[in-house]
Structures are given as structure tokens and as C-alpha cells.
């Protein structure tokens, strides 16, 4: 069973991975925010993602073993879903 804190930690990791993938594709592999400032932004993005209706529903689910991501969203796995949310936010708000 995932607690809200455990899920938040997972979201932070996937948001950071997404941030890094996008950064590496930028000209000179740089973002508008330096490494220290990017930490705050990654945490902010993770907090926004935690407000997603599918993640909230997942946290309320009593039997996590019966949870099917494909039934709840367009993705079959939580990591893909979370990283797609992060990707959208980063591209819309920070590029």
C-alpha cells in the first residue's frame, strides 16, 4: 500500500528524470534554471502532479493490487503516466 508520502517521493523521482531528459535535449544542454533552482521547481511540479485526479483516486483506492492504470488513464504504468504529466508541465511552464 502506498502512502501519500511514498507516492510523492515516486513523483519527485519521475519528475526529476523527466526534467533531466528534457534538459539534455536543449541547446547546450541547459535550462533557464540552474541546478540549485531546478530542485525547487522539480518539487513544485511534483506538488502539482500530486493534485492530479487519477493520483488522488489511486491514493483513495483500498486495494492497490486490483488497481489498473490502463482503466484510469491513457497509460498502462504509473511511471509513464507521471512522467507524461511532468513533461507537459515542464514544456508548458518552463521552456
Residue 59 has pLDDT above 70, yes or no: yes
What's the total number of domains in the chain? Answer: 1
Boundaries of domain holding 50: 4-93
What pLDDT is recorded for position 26?
Answer: 82
Residue 74 has pLDDT above 80, yes or no: no
Q: Over the stretch 4-50, which tens digit does the pLDDT of each residue have?
A: 899 999 999 999 999 989 988 888 877 777 777 888 999 999 999 99
Long-range contacts of range 37-44, CB-CB < 8 Å, 24 or more positions apart?
41/94, 42/12, 42/15, 42/16, 43/12
**pTM of the model as a whole:** 0.85
Amino acid at each position: 500500500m502506498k502512502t501519500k508520502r511514498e507516492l510523492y517521493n515516486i513523483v519527485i523521482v519521475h519528475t526529476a528524470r523527466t526534467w533531466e531528459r528534457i534538459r539534455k535535449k536543449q541547446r547546450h544542454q541547459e535550462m533557464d534554471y540552474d541546478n540549485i533552482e531546478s530542485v525547487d521547481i522539480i518539487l513544485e511540479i511534483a506538488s502539482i502532479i500530486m493534485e492530479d485526479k487519477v493520483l488522488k483516486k489511486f491514493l483513495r483506492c483500498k486495494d492497490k493490487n486490483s488497481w489498473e492504470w490502463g482503466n484510469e488513464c491513457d497509460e498502462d504504468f504509473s511511471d509513464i503516466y507521471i512522467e507524461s504529466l511532468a513533461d507537459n508541465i515542464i514544456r508548458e511552464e518552463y521552456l
